Amino acid sequence: MSLSAQRSIGANVLIGLSFVFVALALVVPLALIFSFALREGLGAYFDAILKPDTLHAIFLTVITAVIVVPINMVVGAALAWLVTRFKFRGQQLLVAIIELPAAVSPIVAGIVYLFLYGNQGLLGPLLQSIGLQIMFTPLAIVLVSLFVTAPYVARELVPLMRQQGTDDEEAALSLGANGWQMFLRVTLPNIRWGLVYGAVLTNARVMGEFGAVSVVSGSIRGQTNTLPLQINLLFNDFNIAGSFAAASTLALIAVITLVLKSMLESWERR
Amino acid sequence: MNKLLLSAVAALALASGPVLAQPTDILNASYDIARELFEAENAAYAATGATVTINQSHAGSSAQARAVLEGLQADVVTFNQVTDVQKLVEGGYVSEDWTSDFPNNAAPFYSFPSFLVRSGNPKAIKDWGDLAAEGVQVIFPNPKTSGNGRYTYLAARAWATEAYAGDEAKIEEFLTKLFANVPVFETGGRAATTAFTERQLGDVLVTFEAETLAVVKQLGADKYEAVVPSVSFLSEFPVAVVDKVVDARGSRDLAKAYLDFLFTPEGQEVAAANFHRPQDATVAAAHAATFPEIRLVTVEDAFGGWDKVAADHFADGGLLDKVFVNQ
């Protein structure tokens, strides 16, 4: 009996276990969402999704992602650039601060925003005096989503850019490229997959965020209810089919995002 | 991409920007289990020819009061607790004399803590005393966060005060046993209902009669039974115009007209059809078959008013904390 044969038995068992785990933990719940959603037929399914409040929740969730993801891609890339390409006092502190939103509980993030922008909050009197309402509007949802997803892009890029070092960029500069040319032709192509991964993670978190958003949304039906809040609301309304229909759209958006990402990847490799 | 972003920002600005023209919509900040009630009230109001759009926000009554204080732009509040409106008075959002703005102390309808049991009532639960028996699991929301839960505490205490002739030691013993029988305290009324119905926790759910009757209708009389105790605690659901918001938006007339509608026979009829007991005597008589007779004690008679209840029972270290041992 050779060593490699033994190892392959062990490996097979492990692979089998992983498959069982993936099936139980991921595939079954996902399949369940769709089976519950379609329990009362395709007609009822589309009726549930096309309800104005649910449709608006989908719209609000997508719009929030469309705004938040690009902003955090730019900010994340800039931050990663800053901490990997320059040396300055407080560098480690900045890296730690970038990580902070990922470390605090979402409910804390929501309450911090409430204490900052609420009428009784720090900036409340100022905002009221200029007539700007932030809390309990879609703007609050965007702000709190920006906060909770701030780390994702930088987190992907910082290790990548550290590993790649500055050789390529220095070469570009020595060959006469200006800063902008260097970034577009050298840096960006080098980090693009990290950037895409970061964007996918950001997107997933923005669309799925419940805790922080629930604090600042005011849950006004058809106005400030995002898809996760709407799912919770329908579930508490005893509208099980409706809540699973809404949940299935959220799952579908996630699946589409992942498929798009892998299509981009394979297209790039050809 | 830029174009997409720009249109997204524009859409957002439209959705959140200040209303400059005459408002055509108002926001009703309401308590948790009133979702179906106000959906029906709003439809009935539209049927009278009113063109205003009524937006709804629902959460725990006290949480909603807090949200309004933090800037939730609610034109009207429809709460399940007088004390929650009082918080808005203290914050300068609602005028001192709000109870005289509408008939009947500004409470269009009322309910009281009542019981919902599983079909056949296997634990034979008839009255408050049965809830403290050994082996009975009781579900009601946390009195610390839910008005519904506070009403339940007060109703149980009112029953015990009569049953034990005011013997404080026996009253506290009963309440301690009752609270020990609660396996999990949900934060709001509807969450307690779903714990009882979806998660199948507990033998009896204590919540507003309105909720118990709605569950029987929604989920089937073959699965659940509503049980009315011998005595309970009058729970009036107050409404108020939020002066600070309507003055800023210019929506006072819309807000006032909407709340007025709740007191009309049409509005009262919708409330009764959704299992909230109406104040209107004619409507109440028409629905007598739905609402069995019950003796209700008031906060003034049993506890000397809301201020005294807040100080004696619900303050930190108050009488509630003495019996709420598993919080």
Q: Which of A63, A128, A221 sits opposite B12 (nearest CB)?
A: A63
What is residue A237's predicted lDDT score, i.e. its pLDDT?
80
Are the beta carbons of A63 and B57 separated by less than 8 Å? no
pTM for the predicted model, two decimal places = 0.82
Fold of B113-233+294-323: D-Maltodextrin-Binding Protein; domain 2 (3.40.190)
Distance from CA of A120 to the nearest CA of B (A): 6
ipTM of the complex, rounded to two decimals: 0.76
Q: Is the pLDDT of residue B327 over 90?
A: no
Distance from CA of A110 to the nearest CA of B (A): 13
Q: Give CA–CA dist B128/B233, Å, rounded.
A: 12
Q: Please, which pLDDT band fits residue A3 given cuts at 50, 70 and 90?
A: low
Domain locations along chain B: 22-110+236-286, 113-233+294-323
Q: Which of B27, B56, B70 sits opposite A120 (nearest CB)?
A: B70
Helix (H) or strand (E) holding B225: strand B224-227
Chain B contacts of A236, Cβ < 8 Å? 190-191, 194
Single-letter amino acid code for the residue at B163: A
What is residue B35's predicted lDDT score, i.e. its pLDDT?
86
Mean pLDDT of A24-49: 88
Q: Does A252 touch chain B (CB under 8 A)?
A: no
Digit-coded pLDDT (tens) for B185-227: 998 888 899 999 988 999 999 999 999 999 999 899 999 999 9
Q: Does A218 touch chain B (CB under 8 A)?
A: yes
Q: Please, which pLDDT band fits residue A41 given cuts at 50, 70 and 90?
A: confident
Are the beta carbons of B71 and A124 separated by less than 8 Å? yes
Mean pLDDT score of chain B = 91
Q: Does B55 touch chain A (CB under 8 A)?
A: yes
Chain position carrying tokens 């699965």: B223
Q: Does A211 touch chain B (CB under 8 A)?
A: no
What is residue B144's predicted lDDT score, i.e. its pLDDT?
85
Strand, helix or coil for residue B53? strand
Q: Does B4 touch chain A (CB under 8 A)?
A: yes
Distance from CA of A135 to the nearest CA of B (A): 6
Q: Give CA–CA dist B324/B176, Å, rounded.
A: 6
Cross-strand bridge partners of residue B49? none
Residue of A nearest to B195 (CA): A236
Q: Please, which pLDDT band fits residue B1 given cuts at 50, 70 and 90?
A: very low
Are the beta carbons of B70 and A121 separated by less than 8 Å? yes
One DSSP character per residue, A205-260 reads HHHH--HHHHHHHTTBTTTT--HHHHHHHHHHTT-HHHHHHHHHHHHHHHHHHHHH
What is residue A39's predicted lDDT score, i.e. its pLDDT?
86
One DSSP character per residue, B110-169 reads EE-EEEEEETT-TT---SHHHHTSTT--EE---TTT-HHHHHHHHHHHHHHHHHTTT-HH
> Taking a C-beta distance cutoff of 8 angstroms, is the pair B24, B249 a contact?
no
Distance from CA of B72 to the nearest CA of A (A): 6
Distances (CA, A) of B75 to A257, B68, B72, B107: 40, 10, 9, 17
Are the beta carbons of A131 and B16 separated by less than 8 Å? no
Digit-coded pLDDT (tens) for A222-268: 899 999 999 988 888 878 888 999 999 999 988 888 888 888 888 87
Cross-strand bridge partners of residue B28? B56, B76
Chain position carrying tokens 């807040």: B310
Question: To 5 degrees, how large is the angle CA B47–CA B50–CA B55?
Answer: 95
Chain A contacts of B11, Cβ < 8 Å? 63
Single-letter amino acid code for the residue at B28: N
What is residue A6's predicted lDDT score, i.e. its pLDDT?
59
Q: Is the pLDDT of residue B19 over 70?
A: no
Cross-strand bridge partners of residue B55? B27
How do strand B53-58 and strand B25-30 relate by DSSP bridges? parallel
- Tell me which architecture the domain covering A41-269 has in CATH: Orthogonal Bundle (1.10)
Q: Which of A133, A139, A237 sits opposite B12 (nearest CB)?
A: A139
Q: Give CA–CA dist B297/B57, Å, rounded.
A: 30
Fold of B22-110+236-286: D-Maltodextrin-Binding Protein; domain 2 (3.40.190)
> Taking a C-beta distance cutoff of 8 angstroms, is the pair B279, B51 a contact?
no
Chain B contacts of A66, Cβ < 8 Å? 4-5, 8
What is residue B139's predicted lDDT score, i.e. its pLDDT?
97
Are the beta carbons of B194 and A221 separated by less than 8 Å? no
What is residue B261's predicted lDDT score, i.e. its pLDDT?
97
Tokens (6 digits) for B23: 């408002």
Mean pLDDT of B149-170: 95
Q: Please, which pLDDT band fits residue A102 given cuts at 50, 70 and 90?
A: confident
Q: Please, which pLDDT band fits residue A5 given cuts at 50, 70 and 90?
A: low
| pLDDT above 90: percentage of residues in chain A | 54
Q: Are both B22-110+236-286 and B113-233+294-323 of the same fold?
A: yes
Mean pLDDT of B265-283: 96
What is residue B14's predicted lDDT score, i.e. its pLDDT?
47
* Closest to B153 measured CA to CA, from B182, B174, B175: B175
Residue of A nearest to B53 (CA): A222
Q: Does B15 touch chain A (CB under 8 A)?
A: yes
Chain A contacts of B35, Cβ < 8 Å? 237
Q: Does A237 touch chain B (CB under 8 A)?
A: yes
Distances (CA, A) of B115 to A10, A11, B277, B325: 58, 57, 16, 23
* Closest to A226 measured CA to CA, from A109, A107, A138, A102: A138
Chain B contacts of A237, Cβ < 8 Å? 35-36
* Closest to A168 measured CA to CA, from A154, A157, A183: A183
Q: Does B39 touch chain A (CB under 8 A)?
A: no
Chain B contacts of A57, Cβ < 8 Å? none
Mean pLDDT of A133-148: 94
Q: Give CA–CA dist A212/A135, Å, rounded.
A: 12
Distance from CA of B204 to the nearest CA of A (A): 19
Digit-coded pLDDT (tens) for B84-95: 999 999 999 999
Q: Which of B12, B67, B190 sits opposite A138 (nearest CB)?
A: B12
Q: Does B67 touch chain A (CB under 8 A)?
A: yes
Q: Is the pLDDT of residue B72 over 60?
A: yes
* Closest to A265 measured CA to CA, from A193, A184, A204: A193
Q: Indicate left, alpha or beta for A51 from its phi (over 0: left) and psi (-120 to 50: alpha).
A: beta
Domain locations along chain A: 1-37, 41-269
Give the mutation candidate from A111, A114, A238 for the B interface (greatest B CB count, under 10 A).
Answer: A238
Q: Give CA–CA dist B13/A15, Å, rounded.
A: 51
